[in-house]
């Protein structure tokens, strides 16, 4: 595995690979890798000749009061995990390399961001879209791998590929979970022991919603209420949102039907966790 | 010359060319071609293996009260001129092909657009940057050719290449002029006969500024005043702006020094004309 810190060196390596008609797979991350990231590498390896992973904690997608500074970082561990997983090139730029000058422009996302994390984190998806556009332009991947835990991010990137005519295929990969069901996340290390135990109730409330739907419940409000009561009873975190929306359009609906996302964000003392499931309802 | 109307067909042709390591040159236009455009083709031909020209009047860069509807169009004449000039592929998409769905996002330019045309045409450069980004992603050119008549556009695209890590070289080409000095422009056909004669005063006032500077004048305000008086005396058009700024940063300065752009926009009854010169001042 090659560790590359500059855009120029990365582009040279990729141009060489492309001359040999290599299919380039790309796994963009913010590091502090867990099995979720590694499962993306796994899938990329099966489908591509060259697997590029980036590790970059992008300041542009963090709000002024968010956790940019305490976002967990451990490059030594990350690079070992990436190497073992089969990453061929690990791109690890610093902020100056990604943003060498004051930017004159950025991508603004104006659709599908008034709900879920877009509502709680204004400007977040502008920052995500801008950095992913830059990374796509640097890496020029044939295929890019994203985890479905960030389902709204997947929807935004899918729309960016469509709106800006990007020549890359997006692959959304399933959420990986701890044994008790908690979605794997770099932010889980910022939970206290008590919170870690409580946090499984996010997963359990999604399962509760699934059960209610299986039993015939279709009223969005009714399911939201049950999930809220469950979460409030079983954890000390503050509910940021519990939403049931069409997917990938992310529109509200009173009666559930078709492809639907059930999504939660909950704030603990030092970590904001998100999770979701996507269901096809008959 | 191949005329191509769909993104898909164009991308197939370009992928084939790239497999043969062809250097791709790109000349984006809004059609109604004149010698200015053809000089871009000429330069592209000298430096590239494959010359792609696009003709697309982009609704996104026109304001609600601007001349999108009466922007001159003549595809038959354009395609003849393009073929004779040596264009290999003429990309001629319709609006539906470029914007098949309501867009979820766009590029917003927030630096260098509070002056010149950016000030008079709010949102104009957002529309320019967005469509040029799309065209770059579709054509994937090695080199792209733009006329320096739209100097602010050249500055914006240059910044977009830098900010979004686009892998394309921008070539800014000199403004072509009619015999009397009027800058060639597709919009010149929308001038009345009287206005056409008056419009040369735009060029002449730029020459006046150049003369004043050669004589030692360095005060921006003084030169602006002289140009204003000259234009008001010699034409019936309304002055939109006369500005002297650093180039390419486009910052104001009281005393001229370094690389400077002197730029004019003037509104006639059915055409808004722009022109500029860039000078190095010792």
Q: Is the pLDDT of residue A282 over 90?
A: no
Residue whose pair of structure tokens reads 């045309």 in the numeric block: B117
Which of A204, A281, A274, A276 lies closest to A235 in space, CA to CA?
A204
Distances from the Cα of A64 to the Cαs of A59, A69, A100, B108, in angstroms? 10, 10, 21, 21
In whole angstroms, give the CA distance from residue B201 to residue B189: 17
E strand intervals along chain A: 2-4, 24-29, 50-55, 89-91, 105-109, 143-147, 169-173, 238-246, 258-267, 272-281
Which of A1, A22, A166, A154 lies closest to A80 in space, CA to CA?
A1
Across the range B62-84, mean pLDDT stands at 95
Q: Is the pLDDT of residue B46 over 90?
A: yes
What is the predicted pLDDT for the residue at A168? 98
Q: Is the pLDDT of residue B34 over 90?
A: yes
For testing contact with chain B, the best of A7, A12, A26, A105 (most B CBs within 10 A): A105
pLDDT category of residue B104 using cuts at 50, 70 and 90: very high
In whole angstroms, give the CA distance from residue B39 to residue A46: 48
Model confidence pLDDT, tens digit, residues A138-175: 999 999 999 999 999 999 999 999 999 999 999 999 99
Q: Is the pLDDT of residue B266 over 90?
A: yes
In B, minimum Cα distance to A166 occurs at B137
Q: Taking the domain B186-276, which CATH number applies?
A: 3.30.1300.10
pLDDT category of residue A109 using cuts at 50, 70 and 90: very high
pLDDT category of residue B269 using cuts at 50, 70 and 90: very high
CB contact (8 A) between residue A107 and residue B105? yes
Contact status of B115 with chain A (Cβ, < 8 Å):
no
> Which has the minimum average pLDDT: B66-70, B145-149, B210-214, B266-270?
B66-70
CB contact (8 A) between residue A107 and residue B104? no
| Residues forming CATH 3.40.50.620 domain(s) in chain B | 2-173
Q: Is the pLDDT of residue A273 over 90?
A: yes
> Long-range pairs for A62-65 at CB < 8 Å and ≥24 separation?
A62/A124, A62/A127, A63/A121, A63/A122, A63/A123, A63/A124
Which chain B residues touch A163 with a CB distance below 8 Å? 101, 103-106, 134
* Angle at alpha carbon of residue A182, lines to A253 and A179, rounded to 5°: 135
In whole angstroms, give the CA distance from residue A131 to residue A106: 9
Radius of gyration of chain A (CA): 19
What is the predicted pLDDT for the residue at B50? 98
> What residues form DSSP beta bridges with B26?
B52, B144
In the Cβ-directed half-sphere of B88, how many Cα atoms lie within 13 Å?
A: 17
Across the range A11-19, mean pLDDT stands at 95
Q: Is the pLDDT of residue A192 over 90?
A: yes
What is the predicted pLDDT for the residue at B90? 98
| Residues forming CATH 3.30.1300.10 domain(s) in chain B | 186-276
Element housing B171 (H / E): strand B169-173
pLDDT category of residue B265 using cuts at 50, 70 and 90: very high
Q: What six digits make up the tokens of A216? A: 């015939």
Q: Is the pLDDT of residue B65 over 90?
A: no
Model confidence pLDDT, tens digit, residues B124-182: 999 999 999 999 999 999 999 999 999 999 999 999 999 999 999 999 999 999 999 99
Which DSSP category does A24 fall into? E
Q: Is the pLDDT of residue A65 over 90?
A: no
Q: What is the average pLDDT value for chain A, to the nearest integer?
A: 96
In A, minimum Cα distance to B163 occurs at A103
What is the predicted pLDDT for the residue at A73? 95
Q: Taking the domain A2-173, which CATH number applies?
A: 3.40.50.620
| Residues forming CATH 3.30.1300.10 domain(s) in chain A | 186-277
Contact status of A104 with chain B (Cβ, < 8 Å):
yes
Contact of A33 with A78, CB cutoff 8 Å = yes
Contact residues, B window 6-25, toward A, CB-based 8 Å cutoff: 7, 11
Model confidence pLDDT, tens digit, residues B193-202: 999 999 999 9
Residue whose pair of structure tokens reads 């650093």 in the numeric block: B246
Q: What six digits make up the tokens of B79? A: 């395609």
What is the predicted pLDDT for the residue at B32? 95
Q: Is the pLDDT of residue B73 over 90?
A: yes
Q: Is the pLDDT of residue B282 over 90?
A: no
What is the predicted pLDDT for the residue at A251? 93
Flag whether the ipTM exceeds 0.90.
yes
Q: Taking the domain A186-277, which CATH number applies?
A: 3.30.1300.10
């Amino acid at each position: 595995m090659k560790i590359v810190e500059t855009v120029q060196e990365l582009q040279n390596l990729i141009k060489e690979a492309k001359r040999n008609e290599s299919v380039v797979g790309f796994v963009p991350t913010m590091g502090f890798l867990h099995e979720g990231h590694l499962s993306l590498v796994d899938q990329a390896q099966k489908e591509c000749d060259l697997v590029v992973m980036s590790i970059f904690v992008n300041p542009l997608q963090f709000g002024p009061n968010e956790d940019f500074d305490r976002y967990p970082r451990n490059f030594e561990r990350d690079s070992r995990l990436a190497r073992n997983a089969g990453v061929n090139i690990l791109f690890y730029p610093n902020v100056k390399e990604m943003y060498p000058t004051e930017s004159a422009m950025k991508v603004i996302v104006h659709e599908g961001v008034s709900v879920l994390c877009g509502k709680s984190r204004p400007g977040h998806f502008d920052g995500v879209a801008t950095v992913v556009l830059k990374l796509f332009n640097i890496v020029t991947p044939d295929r890019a791998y994203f985890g479905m835990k960030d389902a709204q991010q997947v929807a935004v990137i899918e729309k960016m590929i469509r709106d800006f005519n990007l020549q890359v295929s997006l692959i959304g990969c399933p959420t990986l979970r701890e044994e008790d069901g908690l979605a794997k996340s770099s932010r889980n290390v910022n939970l206290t022991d008590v919170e870690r135990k409580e946090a499984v109730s996010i997963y359990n409330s999604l399962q509760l919603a699934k059960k209610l739907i299986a039993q015939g419940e279709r009223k969005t409000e009714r399911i939201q209420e049950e999930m809220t009561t469950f979460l409030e009873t079983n954890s000390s975190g503050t509910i940021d949102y519990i939403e049931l929306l069409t997917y990938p359009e992310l529109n509200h609906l009173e009666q559930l039907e078709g492809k639907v996302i059930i999504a939660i964000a909950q704030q603990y003392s030092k970590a904001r966790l998100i999770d979701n499931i996507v269901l096809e309802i008959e």
